[in-house]
Structure 1
Amino acid sequence: MTTLYLFGSAAPPVFEVAEVIKAGQERGWGVCLGLTPTAARWLEADLSVLEELTGHPVRSEYKAPGEPDVWPKADVILFAPATFNTVNEWALGLTSKFVVGVVAEGIGKGIPTVAMPCVNAAYVQHRAFDRSVAELREMGVTVLYGEGGFVPNQPGERRPYPWDLALDAVETVVGARP
Structure 2
Amino acid sequence: MVVANNKVVSVTYELRKNSADGEVIEIVKDDNPLVYIAGMGSLLPDFEANLMGKKLNESFTFSIPADDAYGPREESAIIDLPLQVFMVDGEVDYELVRTGQTIPMRDQDGNRLNGIVLDVNETTVKMDFNHPLAGDDLYFTGKIVGIRDATQEELEHGHVHGHGGHSHDEED
Task: Compute the TM-score of the two structures, normalised by the length of structure 1.
Answer: 0.20
The structure that has the greater radius of gyration is: 2
Task: Compute the TM-score of the two structures, normalised by the length of structure 2.
Answer: 0.21
Higher relative contact order (CA 8 A, sep 6+): 2
Q: Name the structure where helix makes up a greater proportion of residues.
A: 1
